[in-house]
Structure 1
């Protein structure tokens, strides 16, 4: 199978430069419409797809993003690897605005989103003990240049769309979270259910509201930092094809076999309607 990278661009990353033969495609999924059309082309010879998470023009709030449709659409187009790029706040002094963080853990505090492709009629439990793919994360680290990069970090996913209260920000710091954002969950969980390698690059834009010397975060502050961050993110994406094999081998961390032994529902008790919706997501095991 040929490697195909899908990039989900968050706040500040609304396009990918240098895509050859780029075409915006309308993708229909059983889970509804994705956030936008998907831009498909080749970057330095490698197949790539780009999906603006909030839609072009930033139309969708974090809660309203159709996470299931987005992941299904990218897999439906042939993506084997997913790179999430998103803005975040820092909960640590040493993770400064302008820095990049390769996320390797999550604390999921979202509560108003559909978090699984599975459910009544076909129950499945996948492991998200290690929710990101170290292989893909390492490729991002190699491709990044001109930016301070932290090789690991725990991302606290909040519901939003409001920013944190001071009490919440202090609580999350006490929990050991490193950065805070609104969009990586349930995206990472769904990518795991879809047996896709997933990596998350969090671009620090602010210190949330806990830092006495910086005050509370606001949109103007975020946008100002994003202007610089987005150029570094585009450069990193441009460098990724050199570090991702053109012919994809089995993931050494098992991301592409996450559904092995995960489905609990007996074949005779499975809902045909739900199975039909899982035609791409769980095709290998169903």
Structure 2
């Protein structure tokens, strides 16, 4: 699981693993413990003290580190803004589509050769199903646009995204999802709507403290949902998230 530092207490009897990767250090040592009787690895996306802003997270190191420890399925809880009337603060949504509007991040492990990732459906259907059925109030299906950050959107940007029919806005979902697929990992996100983005309503627009406070208020709810989802994750063997590369000559290392 890749999430906020508040999830550290989520694991039973965690053991820290310091991992060195070809892409530098991950955001933090990876903690491995148990949840719902299953072995789970946890990595704080922004680091243990939120030292990595969204545009400077070591995304490639993070996914490589998880794969090297034996991870095959990734659950990615995140905070998002809402863009339209179909969502509201407090909603928990499992997105099924992603729009990448980032521009400064290294978005691939491919540095040479012809390796073109199939990415029409960016999230694993099996992991998404486990998340979407974790509780009756979890909503399935939405498009999440990922922006560069660390600033929030202008009103014009927010209204533009909403006009496209996109429901959620976030700063960390890309290139994380694509890198997970390149690592042959099953990956899905579960998003907590913490606010309505700048153009979605009148007022001063979204602020950092509002986002952090809403996420803290919902932490125990999210950990409960994740525990239920972990218990019902499907066997990843044969999933298209990995098998896409069975006949592809990869030009980068996939550990394990």
TM-score, normalised by the number of residues in structure 1: 0.84
Aligned equivalents of 1:225 and 1:44: distance in 2?
A: 26
Quick check: 1:134 aligned with 2:125? Answer: yes
Query: Judging changes above 3 Å, is the alpha-carbon distance between structure 1 residues 37 and 207 closer, same or farther for their aligned structure 2 residues?
Result: same
Q: Secondary structure at the match of 1:222?
A: helix
In 1, distance between residues paired with 2:83 and 2:42? Answer: 29
- Of 191-200 and 207-216, the range deviating more from structure 2: 207-216
Number of matched pairs: 256
Q: Secondary structure at the match of 2:7?
A: coil
Work out whether 1:256 is the aligned partner of 2:242: yes
Deviations 1:166-212 (A, max 9, x none): 11011101111110010000000001111111000111101111133
Task: Indicate the SS of the match to 1:260.
Answer: coil
Larger radius of gyration: 1
Please say if residues 29 and 69 of structure 1, whose CA atoms lie closer than 8 Å, have aligned partners that are also in contact.
yes
Offset, 1:139 = 0.5
CA displacement at 1:101 relative to structure 2: 1.0
Unpaired runs of 5+ in structure 2? none
1:18 Cα deviation from its structure 2 partner:
4.8
| Residue 37 in structure 1 maps to residue 23 in structure 2 | no
* Alignment match of 2:6 (pick from 7, 10, 14): 14
From the superposition, tell whether residues 117 and 94 of structure 1 become closer, same or farther in structure 2 (CA, over 3 Å).
same
Pairwise CA RMSD: 1.8
The corresponding residue for 2:190 is: 201
- Structure 2 matches for 1:232-247, cutoff 5 A? 232-245=221-234
**Secondary structure, in 3 states, of the residue corresponding to 1:244?**
coil
**CA offsets 1:207-260 (integer angstroms, 9 cap, x no match):** 111133454000121122112222211111221232124x54322xx1111223
Report 1:70-219 matches (<5 A).
Answer: 70-120=62-112, 122-144=113-135, 148-219=137-208
- Matches of 1:232 and 1:123, distance apart in 2: 43
**Given the superposition, is the C-alpha separation of residues 48 and 79 from structure 1 closer, same or farther in structure 2, using an over 3 Å criterion?**
same
State how far apart, in whole Å, the 2-side matches of 1:198 and 1:166 are.
31
Q: Which runs of 4+ in 1 moved over 6 A?
A: none
**Aligned CA distance change for structure 1 residues 50 and 258 (closer, same or farther; 3 Å):** same
- Residue 118 of structure 1 deviates from its aligned partner by 0.8
